[in-house]
Amino acid sequence: MVNFVEIQKPILHWLVKGAGLREQLIEIEQGTFMNFWAPKEVVQSKTNTVNPTSPDAKRKKSKKPKPPLVLIHGFASEGIITWQFQFGVLLTNYAVYIPDLLFFGKSTTPSLDRSPDFQASCIARGLRKLGVEQCDAVGFSYGGMVAFKLAEVYPDLVRSLVISGSVITMTDSINEASLKRLSATSSAELLMPETVPRLKDLLSISMHKKLWFPDRFYKDFLESMFKNRKERKELLEGLVISNMDAKIPVFQQKILLLWGERDQIFDIDLAKKMKEQLGDNCYIQGISNAGHLLHLERPCAYNRAVQRFLAYVNSTEDAGSINV
C-alpha cells in the first residue's frame, strides 16, 4: 500500500533541487556519514575541476558570496522536511546548509557516542569539508541543543544563533518538570510514539492549532518518520545530565530565542529564564498563536523574525537598534 507521507519526499527533493540545493553525503570519520543539503555551487566544486579563466568561473568569482546559514532540525523528522517552509525564503539572501543529524535521513555512525557534542562535532567537520569557515545557525528543539553545543565548542565557526523550543542543556530538573507537565513517563514515550493515539497526543501538545488528519496519515507518518528507533531513543537518553554537572556557557555569539507563546513542551517562561542566564547578547521574541512547531504553524512570522535578526547580525548597527 502506498505511503502518502513517503511519496511526498521526491516532490520535496525536486523543489529543493529547483531552489538550488544539492545532496551531499560526507564521510566525517571512518564509518560515520552525515548528509547535507548544500548550495549546488559548493557541491559541484567538490566534485568538478573548474578552469579559473573560464567565463563562468569569472562570473561566479565576481559575485559577492552569500553568508552561510545552517538549519538544524528537531527530533520528529529529517532536515528538509522540518525546514520545508523556510529554505526557499532564506535562500534569497543566504547560502543555506541543511544537515541530517545522525540516525536521521541518510546520516549514520558506528560510534556509540549519542551526545549532542558528537552531533555538533560532525556538523562542524562536515561544514569544514564543504568549505564553510563561519556561519549563522538556526536550531529547533533537539537541533537547538545541538546548535548551542556547536556555538559553545566552535565559537569561531558560529557567528550567531536562532533557537526555538529548546534548552541549553537538558538537566534532570527540566526533564522531570516537562514530563510531569505532559503526563509522560519518559522522553522516548513522548517523542517516539508507537501508536496512532500516542502520535495524535504528540501533535496535539506540539501545535497550538488543532488540526484534523485521517488515521491513515498518522499510520503513514509513524512508518515513515520514526525509523532507527533504538538509536534515537539512545539519543534522548544521551541528552539528560544531572543538575550538578550543568553549567551555563559564556557565549560570544548573539542569540535570538524565537518562541511559540503557546509552547507546551518548553514554555516561554523557560525561554525568559534562559535569556536572563545568557545575558545582554541574548534577545527573545514570542510568536503568538503558535506552539512548539512554530515554524510550521506560523512560517511567515517565523521567517520574518529570523530574517530580521540575521539582517541585524550582518549589519553594522548597534545592539540597541534591533526590534525583537
pLDDT at 319 over 50: no
In the predicted structure, residue 320 carries a pLDDT above the cut 80? no
The domain tally of the chain equals 1
In a domain, 323, yes or no: no
* Assigned domain for 59 exists: no
Q: What are 11's three cell numbers?
A: 516532490
Determine the pLDDT at residue 244.
77
CATH number at residue 151: 3.40.50.1820
Please state which of the ranges 4-18, 25-39, 270-284 shows the lowest mean pLDDT.
4-18
Place of cell 567537520: 125
- Residue 319 in any domain: the answer is no
Measured between alpha carbons, how far apart are the two ends of the chain, in Å? 48
Residue 78 lies inside a defined structural domain of this protein: yes
The predicted-structure confidence for 275-300, as pLDDT tens digits, reads as follows: 999 999 999 999 999 999 999 999 99
Question: Is the pLDDT reported for residue 64 higher than 90?
Answer: no
In a domain, 58, yes or no: no
Q: Which of 16-30, 99-113, 125-139, 307-321 has the lowest mean pLDDT?
A: 307-321
Predicted confidence (pLDDT) per residue in 109-161, tens digit: 999 999 999 999 999 999 999 999 999 999 999 999 999 999 999 999 999 99
pTM: 0.91
Who wins on pLDDT, 257 or 58? 257
Query: For residue 22, is pLDDT > 50?
Result: yes
**C-alpha dihedral (232, 263, 154, 126), degrees to nearest 10:** 50
Domain that holds residue 78: 8-50+67-314
Q: Is residue 1 part of a domain?
A: no
Mean pLDDT, residues 253-276: 96
Torsion, Cα 277 282 287 288, to 10 degrees, reads: 50
Query: Comparing C-alpha atoms, which of 130, 140, 188, 194 is closest to residue 163?
Result: 140
Question: Could you tell me the pLDDT band of residue 47, with boundaries at 50, 70 and 90?
Answer: low
* The pLDDT value given to residue 53: 44
248: cell is: 551555563
String of b and e for 225-234 (b: at least 16 CB within 10 Å)? bbeeeeebbe
Domain membership flag for residue 204 = yes
**pLDDT class of 9 with cuts at 50, 70, 90:** confident
For residue 320, being part of any structural domain is answered with: no
